[in-house]
Amino acid sequence: MYINGEWIEKSETFGVVNPATGEEIGRVADGGAPDAVAAITAAHEAVAAWSQTTAYERAAVLYRAHQLMVERKQELAELMTMEQGKPLKASLFEVGYGASFLLWFAEEAKRVYGEMIPSARANQRFMVLHQPVGVVAAITPWNYPMSMLTRKIAPALAAGCTIVLKAAEATPLCAIAIFKLLEEAGVPAGVANLITALDPVPIGRVFCTDERVKKITFTGSTAVGKKLAQDAAPQLKRMSMELGGHAPFIVFDDADPVHAAKGASLVKFLNTGQACISPNRIFVHRSIMDAFVKTFVERVGRMRAGNGMEKGVAIGPLVNEAAVQKVDAQVQDALAKGATLHSGGMRLTEDGLAAGHFYAPTVLGDVTPEMLIYREETFGPVAAIIPFDDEDDVVAMANDTQYGLAAYVYTNNLSRAMRTFEQLNFGIIGINDINPTSAAAPFGGMKESGIGREGAREGIMEYLETKLGGFVI
> Annotated catalytic, 242?
yes
* From 83, 94, 242, 454, active-site residue: 242
* From 276, 377, 391, 462, active-site residue: 276
CB 449 within 8 A of CB 222: yes
Element (H, E) at 63: helix 55-71
CB 274 within 8 A of CB 168: no
DSSP state of 187: P
Element (H, E) at 463: none
What residues have CB less than 8 Å from 80, skipping those under 6 apart?
86, 91, 94, 95, 145, 146, 171, 174
Give the integer Cα–Cα distance in Å for 269 and 264: 8
> Annotated catalytic, 276?
yes
CB 95 within 8 A of CB 68: no
Provide the total of helices (H) and of strands (E) in the chain, helices listed first.
Answer: 15, 24
Amino acid identity at 85? G
For residues 66-103, one letter each, b for 16 or more C-beta atoms within 10 angstroms of the residue's C-beta and e for the rest, the string is: bebbeebbeebbbbbbbbbbbbbebbbbbbebbbbbbb
| Residues designated catalytic | 242, 276
